[in-house]
Each structure stands twice: as structure tokens, then as C-alpha cells.
């Protein structure tokens, strides 16, 4: 099977021009098929605050009311997505930026059945694998923004970690898929103040202990939860680490590997 790398980069990478350039440069050098999924960063929050739209986060997930949905659609699907595409073009990568609504890429439904009302937040139902295969076969690398749609005209804000996992799992039927969660740290750390304290391997028992000890919390929880969904869904490997060290993450010499 041909290899496919799904690279997700977080908001702290998006917010930092130096880190973003280093990450995109590394991405541009990947051999074979690759898809980049990006988060939102601080721009959406800053814009919301400037407009007087209060923002609420629960375990790393944004509560999305109608006003916030408009903001994240503009920022994620517009400014951030197209900036990344333009930078990749400058690096010789023929990239195409998409939201879940484009080409019916990712269909989702509004989250229900939880004690928290997340607003216009979507949970993924379907990834259009035929579209992805067609674009990849034409040597186009995809840049996916974390906005989906419900098929009835409603856009939905969807966690970028979840989107990366959903694409990776869906494409694992057609490729040997490797999922990488890239962010600003060296990996999952046992001490957030010590960059040398990378936990090289996390399995399910260790994950439970680390959560209980509050070593892993907030934004890291969706990453690791999605890592296990990906592995259970046929993805070959999931690694969390420094976004600009893609080659080292891929060859297993850096970052945190998630194992079942």
C-alpha cells in the first residue's frame, strides 16, 4: 500500500510565523502523499474579543454560538487556510485548501446528547474518500480547515484533531496511513517546564494514569483520544511531537508514540 501522511498542526504553530514556516518547509519535503489539517490559533479568539463575542472552552473544545461560527469560518476557512496554501505554493507544493463543505469533503452532524451544549459544533459522519483519492492522484496536497457541514446548509465548527483522525481512519482502507499531531513541544511531557521530559511511548494504561495525575489535560486529551480512535480504525501509527521535526517523528527518533 502507498503511504499517506496526515499531519495536523495546532494553533500555537499557526500563530507563530517562524514555527509555521519551519513546519511547512518540512511538510514540503515529505515524499509521497500528504494532507495537512490545521487548527485555528488565537486569531479567532482575538477577533471575537474585539467584536465583544465571549469565548468559552471546555477541555480544549470551543463552545460555538452563531456569532462565533461566523468568526471561525472566516478565520479558519479563509485567512489561515489560504495563508498556508500560499506559503506551500511558494515552497513548490501544489496545495489546495478545503473546508468540509468543499466537494462534500466532510459531512457532520450537530453534537447532541451531551451535558454541555457545544452550540454549532460538529461530529464527523463521513469523509469523501473518493474526492481525496482523486486529488491526491493528481499530485495535489490538501490543506484542510476545521469547518464541516451537515448536508442541509449548516456549517459546523469541528475539532481539528478529530478531523485529522477521521480523514486518517477513512483513508486507511486505501493507504498505509500515518497520523502525526504536530505542535510546539517535543512531545507529551511528564513536566511541562522541561522539554527533555518527553514520554516516548504511551499505551492505554499509562494514559489513564497520566490523566488522573493531571499530567495530561485540556488540549492534549482530544489528541490522545483521537489517536486511539485512529489506531482502532486501521491507522498504522500515531505520533505527537514538534511540528517542524516531521522527518524525525516519522522515523521514530522524536516525539511520543501512542500505542494501544
Q: Tens of pLDDT along 104-118?
A: 999 999 998 888 899
Residue 62 has pLDDT above 90, yes or no: no
Query: What pLDDT does residue 168 have?
Result: 98
Q: How many CB atoms lie within 10 A of CB 89?
A: 13
pLDDT of residue 3: 96
Write down the pLDDT at residue 57. 80
Q: What is the mean pLDDT of residues 66-86?
A: 97
Domains located in the chain, CATH noted: 3-258 (3.40.1160.10)
pLDDT tens for 200-237 read: 999 999 999 999 999 998 778 889 999 999 999 999 99
Mean pLDDT (the chain) is 94
- Position 113 scores a pLDDT of 82
Given CA atoms 67, 17, 20, 60 in this order, what sign does their dihedral have? negative
In angstroms, how far apart are the furthest CA atoms of the chain? Answer: 50
Query: How much is the pTM?
Result: 0.95
**Band of residue 55 on the pLDDT scale cut at 50, 70, 90:** confident
- Cα angle at 34 between 16 and 174, to 5 degrees? 145
Grid cell, residue 170, equals: 477513512
Give me the count of residues in the chain.
Answer: 260
Would you state the pLDDT for residue 60? 60
- Residue 182 pLDDT more than 80? yes
CA distance 20 to 18: 5
Cβ 183 vs Cβ 256: under 8 Å: no
Return the pLDDT at 114: 84
Portion of the chain with pLDDT greater than 90, in percent: 87
Q: Supply the pLDDT for residue 59.
A: 65
Indicate whether 158 pLDDT > 90: yes
Instruction: Report the alpha-carbon distance of residue 65 to residue 45 in Å, rounded.
Output: 13
Mean pLDDT across 26-43: 93
- Cα–Cα distance between 259 and 247 in angstroms, integer? 20
Amino acid at each position: 500500500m502507498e503511504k499517506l501522511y496526515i499531519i495536523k498542526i495546532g494553533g500555537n504553530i499557526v500563530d507563530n510565523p517562524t514555527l509555521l514556516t519551519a513546519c511547512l518547509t518540512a511538510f514540503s519535503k515529505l515524499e509521497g502523499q500528504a494532507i495537512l489539517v490545521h487548527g485555528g490559533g488565537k486569531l479567532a479568539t482575538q477577533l471575537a474579543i474585539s467584536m465583544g463575542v465571549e469565548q468559552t472552552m471546555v477541555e480544549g473544545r470551543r463552545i460555538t454560538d452563531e456569532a462565533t461560527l461566523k468568526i471561525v469560518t472566516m478565520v479558519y476557512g479563509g485567512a489561515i487556510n489560504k495563508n498556508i496554501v500560499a506559503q506551500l505554493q511558494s515552497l513548490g507544493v501544489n496545495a489546495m485548501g478545503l473546508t468540509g463543505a468543499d466537494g462534500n469533503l466532510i459531512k457532520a452532524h450537530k453534537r447532541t446528547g451531551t451535558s454541555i451544549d457545544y452550540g454549532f459544533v460538529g461530529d464527523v459522519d463521513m469523509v469523501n474518500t473518493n474526492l481525496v483519492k482523486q486529488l491526491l492522484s493528481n499530485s495535489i496536497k490538501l490543506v484542510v480547515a476545521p469547518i464541516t457541514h451537515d448536508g442541509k446548509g449548516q456549517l459546523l465548527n469541528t475539532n481539528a484533531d478529530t478531523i485529522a483522525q477521521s480523514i486518517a481512519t477513512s483513508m486507511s482502507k486505501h493507504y498505509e496511513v500515518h497520523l502525526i499531531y504536530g505542535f510546539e513541544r517535543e512531545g507529551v511531557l511528564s513536566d511541562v517546564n522541561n522539554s527533555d521530559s518527553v514520554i516516548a511511548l504511551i499505551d492505554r494504561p499509562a494514559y489513564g494514569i497520566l490523566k488522573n495525575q493531571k499530567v495530561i489535560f485540556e488540549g492534549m486529551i482530544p489528541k490522545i483520544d483521537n489517536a486511539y480512535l485512529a489506531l482502532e480504525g486501521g491507522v498504522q501509527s500515531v505520533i505527537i511531537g514538534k511540528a517542524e521535526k516531521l522527518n524525525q517523528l516519522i522515523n521514530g527518533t522524536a516525539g511520543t508514540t501512542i500505542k494501544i
